[in-house]
């Protein structure tokens, strides 16, 4: 069943567009400090290779501005816009805009209030930049909190809507909104309510969601439920882990809902008493072989020949294991039976043919 997306306004961030019927963009935030310039550049390049479409960088001091300015001049963010993330110091936000950042992420509540926010809005207009109003449960306005009987979620909602109206009153519309809570249910409530009340693009995320395992699950539940309701124009899966994994998780969420396809969608069976091979080993190796493929491709790795091809009939190519043997199948049909020892090599050859490349896709096998 196709998901009907809510029709939001289209905004522009560098070379990309967000909202309306544009693709839901996948973003991540760098983990390296700007002072570690070489590591930061490497991380950004890895993110771009993994398909990250918007890259957020924490700006903590003047040194960070110098570094992002240099990266911008080099064209590092030409196709993958940079969002400068600033807390508290509006001068850093102002300098980030002057340095050419495509977007700044600010929380008007902690950047110096309405007056400082207005200065930033005027600069963003001048620079043709975008702003993300990023409010989260850790930084709710005290007045709103009191007014809402210390209900953080309601206070956060009130704050966010006030900021949206303020931006409109300043005749600035090139902005997106995020309102994050670490509780999945609160986040869903917040975004659902925002989606009813405003039609600016929404950036979805579950803040401080946890490590690789629990974070990916919490994000999939929260972001997934919202996306399924047609809510959300850009997403970030926050993980206490490698930023590239955030991007991969983002695409898995989107592709599992049929909203995007990017690179390989690996299907592997959970294994059971019928499994005929070390499936974890083979699934990991197939993942390595196919890591560089950007073309959407579904690949199945199944533990038995009985259910393998049938269960993975949607796959473009796959392997199903028998006793010391394996079958390679394409589009659900078995096309080759091989010895287990040769399976990765021959799979790689078939994969190469499938993606219309005479050479093998990977040099590993």
Which positions touch ligand SF4 (CB under 6 A)?
269-272, 274-275, 302-304, 306-308, 311
* Residue 165 or 274 with smaller CB distance to ligand SF4: 274
Residue 130 to residue 58: CA distance in whole angstroms: 16
DSSP annotation of 137: G
Query: Which is closer to ligand SF4, CB of 122 or CB of 284?
Result: 284
Residues 6 or more apart in contact with residue 81 via CB below 8 angstroms? 13, 14, 15, 16, 53, 54, 55, 102, 103
Q: Can you tell me the distance from the alpha carbon of 137 to that of 135, in angstroms, rounded to the nearest whole number?
A: 7
Tokens of 226: 């919202």
Q: Which token pair is 124? A: 């963003």
| Shortest Å, Cβ 329 to ligand SF4 | 12
Sequence-separated (6 or more) residues with CB below 8 Å from residue 302: 268, 269, 279, 308, 309, 311, 312, 318, 319, 320, 321
Instruction: Write down the least CB distance from residue 297 to ligand SF4, Å.
Output: 20
Report residue 53: phi and psi, to 5°: -100, -25
CB of 273 to ligand SF4, least distance (A): 7
Output 205 or 303, the one with its CB closest to ligand SF4: 303
Residue nearest ligand SF4 by beta-carbon distance: 303
- Comparing CB distances to ligand SF4, the nearer of 311 and 350 is 311
Helix ranges (DSSP H) in the chain:
37-49, 62-74, 90-98, 113-127, 142-147, 152-169, 184-197, 212-228, 243-256, 279-289, 308-311, 343-354
Nearer to ligand SF4, 104 or 300 (CB): 300
Task: Give the tokens for residue 245.
Answer: 């994994």
Q: For the CA atoms of the chain, what is the radius of gyration?
A: 23
CB of 131 to ligand SF4, least distance (A): 49
Residue among 29 and 269 whose Cβ is closer to ligand SF4: 269
Q: What is the longest distance spanned by two Cα atoms in the chain?
A: 72
The residue with tokens 């309102």 is 179
Least distance (Å) from ligand SF4 to the CB of residue 274? 4
Q: Select 237 or 312, whichever has its Cβ closest to ligand SF4.
A: 312
CB nearer ligand SF4, residue 119 or residue 267? 267
Instruction: List, in order, residues 6 or more apart from 120 with CB less than 8 Å away.
Output: 90, 93, 94, 97, 104, 106, 111, 131
Q: How far is the CB of 270 from ligand SF4 (least distance, A)?
A: 5
Residue 239 or 269: which CB sits closer to ligand SF4? Answer: 269
Three-state DSSP state, 318: strand
Measured from the CB of residue 310, what is the shortest distance to ligand SF4 in angstroms? Answer: 9
Min separation Cβ 283 and ligand SF4, Å:
11
Name the DSSP letter for residue 108.
Answer: T
Q: How far is the CB of 298 from ligand SF4 (least distance, A)?
A: 16
Rounded least distance, CB 269 to ligand SF4, Å: 3
Which residue lies nearer to ligand SF4 by CB, 202 or 304?
A: 304
Assess contact for 239 and 31: CB atoms under 8 A: no
């Amino acid at each position: 069943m196709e998901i009907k997306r809510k029709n939001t306004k289209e905004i522009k961030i560098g070379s990309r567009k967000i909202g309306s019927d544009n693709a839901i963009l996948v973003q991540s935030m760098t983990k390296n400090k700007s002072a570690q310039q070489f590591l930061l550049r490497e991380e950004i390049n890895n993110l771009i290779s993994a398909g990250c479409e918007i890259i957020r960088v924490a700006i903590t001091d003047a040194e960070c501005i110098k570094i992002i300015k240099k990266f911008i001049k080099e064209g590092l963010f030409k196709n993958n816009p940079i969002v400068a993330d600033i807390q508290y110091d509006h001068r850093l936000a102002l300098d980030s805009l002057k340095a050419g950042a495509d977007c700044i992420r600010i929380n008007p509540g902690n950047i110096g209030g309405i007056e400082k926010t207005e200065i930033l809005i005027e600069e963003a207009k001048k620079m043709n930049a975008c702003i993300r109003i990023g409010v989260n449960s850790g930084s709710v306005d005290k007045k709103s909190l009191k007014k809402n009987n210390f209900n953080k979620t309601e206070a956060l909602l009130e704050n966010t809507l006030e900021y949206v109206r303020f931006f409109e009153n300043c005749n600035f519309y090139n902005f997106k909104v995020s309102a994050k809570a670490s509780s999945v249910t609160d986040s869903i409530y917040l975004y659902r309510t925002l989606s009813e009340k405003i039609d600016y693009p929404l950036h979805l995320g579950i803040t401080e969601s946890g490590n690789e395992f629990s974070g990916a699950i919490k994000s999939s539940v929260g972001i997934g439920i919202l996306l399924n309701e047609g809510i959300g124009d850009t997403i970030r899966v926050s993980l206490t882990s490698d930023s590239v994994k955030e991007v991969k998780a983002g695409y898995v969420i989107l592709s599992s809902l049929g909203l995007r396809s990017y690179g390989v969608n690996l299907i592997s069976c959970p294994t059971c008493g019928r499994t005929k091979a070390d499936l974890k080993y083979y699934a990991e190796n197939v993942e390595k072989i196919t890591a560089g493929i950007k073309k959407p491709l579904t690949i199945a790795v199944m533990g038995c020949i009985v259910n393998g091809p049938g269960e993975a009939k949607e796959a473009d190519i796959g392997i199903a294991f028998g006793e010391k043997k394996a079958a390679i199948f394409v589009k659900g049909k078995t096309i080759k039976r091989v010895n287990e020892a040769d399976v990765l090599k021959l799979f790689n050859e078939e994969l190469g043919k499938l993606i219309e490349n005479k050479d093998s896709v990977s040099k590993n096998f």
